[in-house]
Structure 1
Amino acid sequence: MKYLGIILSAIGLMIIINSCSKSWTDYSALQVQNLNQDSNTALNNKTYQTYLANLRSYKSSKHSIVMGWIEWGDKTSTANSTLNDLPDSLDFISILNPSNTLSDEKKQDLSSVQKNKGTKVLYNLNLQNWDDSLYSTFNKIGYLLNVDSAFQSQLDSVILAINSLGYDGVDVNVEGMNCSSCGSFFYTYQTGYYNRILDTLGKLYGPHSNTEKFLLVEGATTASLLSGTESYFNYYIANTNDYSWYYQVDNAYATIAQIPGFTNDKLIITTDFNDKSVSADISDKLWQYGGIPFYTNGSGTPIPSSTALLNWNPTSGLKGGMGIFYINYDYFNNDFTITKNIIKTLNPSGE
């Protein structure tokens, strides 16, 4: 075994394993979320401390990344709403629709998952959400001044939240503006403003920042919006949630592969486990089905997109990893079964 070889003592933990066949994710049976409630139980157990140390070592080693997006909630009776509820082996958790303030409970949840498990927690910055609100701040006469000020004000508030709340960086969605009322006049300035935002963030987070903070970009297939900032990112995320054919994934990869400095190990492809029906013909929710129907062989019987994307790799080399939107719903698949399988398949030496 390369880096996950730990034999867990049955004494104190009441866990029996055969040889080294268990992976990190099997340890989730310890209900790590209880660390927020009683630090004198698992955290003071030496065997568990060894487990956590090896978990952090694994995450700092070179391996295939697995990340998830969640709408972060407070602790509930269902163990899928907090950061510590998610599988231990996740590398990144990105917070959808993040608040710029945190309750004491969430601050403790954040600190615990970062310190104990080595999980990196990111602020999800969806630039699409800015567009309609920005349009209301300007007219053609005062366009440049007002929009410039609005962008800067929102950007400053995001940076303040990331730094003051202790996030490990930012995950930026740049899939293009979605302003229904803006018109072509607004779109003329799209690339310039996105470039400025990414340039600002790239000096604070990511490989050019000389910090340990991360900068990820979603929508890297919209390559024109990355003009001049292509090398600022730790990972490039191709949003493949709605893809049903391998040629679509291949085309997305071909676009991203043209980005200067891009390497395959920086590519993350995604699936969606939202709580909505798969289609009019399939009543299962996305999380039940495992994504959407994906056709791997012509018009034959489809397989879940999470399985198809897990099996996909560039023609040369391996992808950097996978991401799951609304990963918390996988809890209902017998405690994150699909996520755990993805982790173990991408990192087989972890078994």
Structure 2
Amino acid sequence: MKKYVIFSFLLMALLSVGCSDWTEVENKNIDKLLVDADSSLSIAHQKYLENLRAYKQTDHELTFGWFSGWTGESPASRCLYNLPDSTDFVSLWDGFTNLTPAKQADLKRAQQEKGLRVLACSLLFDIGNSVTVQPQSSKDKGETWLQYSHKFWGWEGDEKTIEKAVEKFANAICDTIYKYNLDGFDLDAEPTIPQPFNTDREMWQNDRMNVFIRTMGKRIGPMAETEEGRKKWLVVDGEPDWFSPEMALYFNYYILQAYESYGYQDLDMRFNNLYSAFASKQSYAEVAKKVIMTEEFEKYSTNGGVGHRTRDGKSVRSYLGMAMWEPIGARKGGIGSYHMEKDYAASPVYKYLREGIQIMNPAVK
């Protein structure tokens, strides 16, 4: 009992000290602790981002998507930086020219902090798509957009002159990619797919699209003439097998629009058709590591796709099925989604993108 009496006496003596003295010491201690905590959190976050960027450089299955509605500012769903951290690369679906300061800031932050690759993307049927701006004066003359574009790029005369115009066009896109420090180009190749607009598909006639890719391929992609160029990607989506096996070597990845895929049987068929087209120049494993299967989130973001059956008969949503699927005896390049930004509305945000990432590249516990 004596020790408790002594302790009580000492406690009362301490409490008799002025409250202001104790409060001052306590505030100083809390301030120091908060500063130390902020510093520790900042160091930990920077280390996390460093590890994230290192992960992006490893050999792993990639998460990709076409990003639309980009503003680089509010709401959060319109910012590249707010994509799941492990997203590897995106294609800008709404255009890649005349980037606002907000877009440029968002782009730079996502690239530098998270190692996100951001590619220009275009559906090319007629020369000038995506990079030709029609002045008001040409409309006054009664010119159509295509007439003005032909004149602007020099698309007139014999085929040799037309190919020179195609080369000029390809270089202009590359110039824009370098201007904004984009990470490459995604060619939306749909030469035989019906479109909701009129087009003569002039870029896909004769050898023109091959000229376009060979020209661009000198400056970006795996065949680029410089090390800087080889760090940028040249990918093709839609109908990659339109290209010859030799031309396919210009591309880093083949992105297949496997929308509404019903199961592994469908994915196997799509992959085997692609491999058959390129087998004379690339091995089965090489084609497999370059193929990216994609689902459509413009329609199916709320449920992750359609019903999809695995090889063992399990029923899953198609986007997750693509994440689980592998070519028989090989490893795929990754998965992707059209209008990936629509998955932001899920709970939690980007629910299916995150689940796909974990299926392909589980977090270390």
TM above 0.5, yes or no, is yes
Specify the alignment match of 2:174 in structure 1: 159
Partner AA of 2:112 in structure 1:
K
Shift of 1:206: 1.4
Residues 231-282 of structure 1 deviation map (CA, whole Å, 9 limit, x = unaligned): 11211111112433433322221122231225121111111111x4xxxxxx
d(CA) in 2 for partners of 1:301 and 1:48? 39
Distance (Å, rounded) in 1 between the aligned partners of 2:260 and 2:324: 16
Report if the CA contact (8 A) 1:128-1:173 is conserved.
Answer: no
Match of 2:302 among 264, 288, 313: 288
Q: Distance in 1 between matches of 2:240 and 2:73?
A: 38
Other-structure match for 2:109:
112
Percent identity among equivalent residues?
A: 27
In the other structure, the counterpart of 2:213 is 198
Distance 1:131 1:100 in 2: 12
Is 1:56 the counterpart of 2:70 in the alignment?
A: no
Structure 2 CA distance, aligned partners of 1:77 and 1:349?
A: 30
1:336 aligns with 2:350: yes
1:155, 1:107 → 2: CA distance?
A: 22
Structure 1 199/168 Cα, relative in aligned 2: closer, same or farther at 3 Å?
same
Q: Give the aligned partner of residue 253 of structure 2.
A: 235
Relative to structure 1, is the Cα distance of residues 350 and 217 closer, same or farther in structure 2, using a 3 angstrom cutoff? Answer: farther
Q: Which residue of 1 aligns with 2:132?
A: none
> SS of the counterpart of 1:122?
strand
Report what 1:218 is aligned to.
Answer: 237
Unaligned runs of 5+ in 1: 1-10, 16-40, 277-285
What CA deviation, in whole Å up to 9, does each residue of 1:12-35 have, x standing for no partner?
79x9xxxxxxxxxxxxxxxxxxxx
Length-normalised TM-score, structure 2: 0.71
Q: 5+ residue gaps in structure 2?
A: 1-32, 130-144
Q: What CA distance in whole angstroms lies between the structure 2 residues aligned with 1:234 and 1:12?
A: 47
Q: Separation in 2 of the partners of 1:336 and 1:288?
A: 10
Is 1:176–1:222's contact at 8 Å kept on the other side of the alignment?
Answer: no
The structure richer in helix per residue is 2
Moved more, 41-50 or 328-337: 41-50
Q: 1:195 to 1:145 in 2, by over 3 A?
A: closer
TM-score by length of 1: 0.74
Distance across 2 between alignment mates of 1:84 and 1:196:
35
Whether 1:100 and 2:80 are equivalent positions in the alignment is: no
- SS of the aligned residue for 1:68 comes to strand
User: How far does residue 88 in structure 1 lie from its aligned partner after superposition?
Assistant: 1.0
**Cα drift, residue 172 of structure 1:** 1.3
* Distance change >3 Å, CA 246–CA 345, structure 1 → 2: closer
- Give the letter aligned to residue 212 of structure 2: I
**Does the 8 Å contact 2:96/2:120 carry over to 1?**
no
**Equivalents in 2 of 1:265, 1:253: separation in Å?**
11
How far apart, CA to CA, are the structure 2 residues paired with 1:42 and 1:350?
A: 26
Cα gap change, 1:294 to 1:204, in 2 (>3 Å): same
Q: How does 1:119-268 map to 2 (within 5 A)?
A: 119-128=116-125, 137=150, 142=157, 144=159, 147-148=162-163, 151-176=166-191, 180=198, 182=200, 190=205, 192-209=207-224, 210-211=227-228, 212-219=231-238, 221-226=239-244, 228-258=246-276, 259=278, 260-261=281-282, 263=286, 264-268=288-292
Match of 1:346 in 2: 360
* 1:328-348 deviation line (CA, Å, top 9, x unaligned): 111111211111111111012
1:13-60 Cα shifts (integer Å, max 9, x gaps): 9x9xxxxxxxxxxxxxxxxxxxxxxxxx89991111100100011111
Once the two structures are TM-superposed, the CA of residue 222 in structure 1 deviates from its matched residue by 4.2
Q: How many residues align?
A: 299
**CA–CA distance in structure 2, aligned partners of residues 223 and 94 of structure 1:** 20
Work out which of the residue numbers 326, 333, 336 in structure 1 matches 2:339. Answer: 326
Q: Which amino acid aligns with 1:63?
A: H
